Amino acid sequence: MPNDYLLTVISNIGMISLIALSAYLLLISGEISFGQQAYFGISAYAGAIATTLWGWPLWLALLFGSSLAALAAGFVGLLTLRISGLYFSIATLAFAEMVRLSLFKLTYQIEIDGELIGPNGAEGFGEIRWIFDNDVSVLEYTLLIYGILLLVLFFLVLIERSRLGMIFRMLGQDPLLTRVQGLNPVRYKVTAAILAGFIAGLGGTLYAHSFTYIEPQIFNMMLGVHALAYGLIGGLGTVLGPLIGVAIDIGFLESVRVIQGYRMVVFGGLVALMLIFMPRGIFDEKRVYWLKSIARRWFRA
């Protein structure tokens, strides 16, 4: 049996992969969001409130938290329709900071078994006990995370092969050209934002129940920067790209003792190198296309 530390690292990879996938969806649609941590955080708080304070089952809390995150993402998507590029990135970052600072002010506590439970501003939100109350082991919870991650991956693979996926990639390359193909970019930009918000939301609720304690500081800019960087390292040519990025950062950099303590230095350097030499990541569209054609030839043979 794997030990709890290893399982925690593995489950962390799974949960962070969800926010990385959400940033990836926006990246392939041509938008760089520094604010996906906001949706992760909104869902973490909403999902945890739903199970801990309202006694909802986890599946319903997941749906609630993620839907709320998707709504917020759709709202931000609508507000930022007329801006793109750097301005969009700054707007998303500003929204995320607004959410984080609002969480510092959020106090909503209910007395349960003689104890006040619930979000309490800067002190955070502890006693998210669903995992203990329902006798869920670390292994079982890790499997749950990976089940959800697989579902999301399956969904994203379907999207990638669909017309919608093609439209996202068209938008990511040239919004004006997409428009003169008869497509309204506004509709698809907002769709991408909502889907990305929902996926980040799934990660948020799972995160809150895995760590049993959350505080506003967790959902800071660094989480958003990491979410972006994973896609940029792993590659934007395939949905597996962000997962490869997460595995490199958390799976490799965190587990190699030699570089422990220097992880962020190595990570930052890696991102800088990638942006210079492989701006669309290890598995960019060209390499993925090349690999697919090799695979096709191999299967034919």
Partner 1 sequence: MLELQGVSKTFGELQVLRGIDLHLRQGTVSGLIGPNGSGKTTLVNIITGVYPPDSGRVLLDGKDISRASADQITRLGVSRSFQNVRIFNRMSVLDNVIAALIGHDKAGLTTLLGRAKRTGDPKVTTARQALKTVGLLEQRNLSASELPLPLRRRLEIARALACDPKVLVLDEPAGGMTPAETASISELIRSRIAPGRTCIVIEHKMDLISHVCQHLCVLNHGEKIAEGDPRSVVSQPEVIEAYLGRV
At a CB cut-off of 8 Å and minimum separation 6, what does 176 contact?
A: none
Q: How far is the CB of 234 from partner 1 (least distance, A)?
A: 16
**Binding stretches for partner 1 (CB under 8 A):** 158-159, 161-167, 169-170, 173-174, 176-185, 187, 285-286, 289, 293
**Cβ proximity to partner 1, 101 vs 166, nearer residue:** 166
Q: What are residue 120's DSSP bridge partners?
A: 107
Q: How far is the CB of 285 from partner 1 (least distance, A)?
A: 4
**Cβ proximity to partner 1, 262 vs 289, nearer residue:** 289
Closest CA to 172 of 82, 106, 85, 277: 85
**Cβ proximity to partner 1, 159 vs 200, nearer residue:** 159
Dmax (CA) of the chain: 70
Q: How far is the CB of 59 from partner 1 (least distance, A)?
A: 23
CA 201 remoteness from chain centre: 7
Q: How far is the CB of 173 from partner 1 (least distance, A)?
A: 5
Rounded Cα distance, 55 and 192, in Å? 32
**Cβ proximity to partner 1, 139 vs 278, nearer residue:** 278
Between the CA atoms of 247, 36, 154 and 49, what dihedral angle is there, to the nearest 10 degrees?
A: 100
Q: How far is the CB of 158 from partner 1 (least distance, A)?
A: 7
**Cβ proximity to partner 1, 163 vs 257, nearer residue:** 163
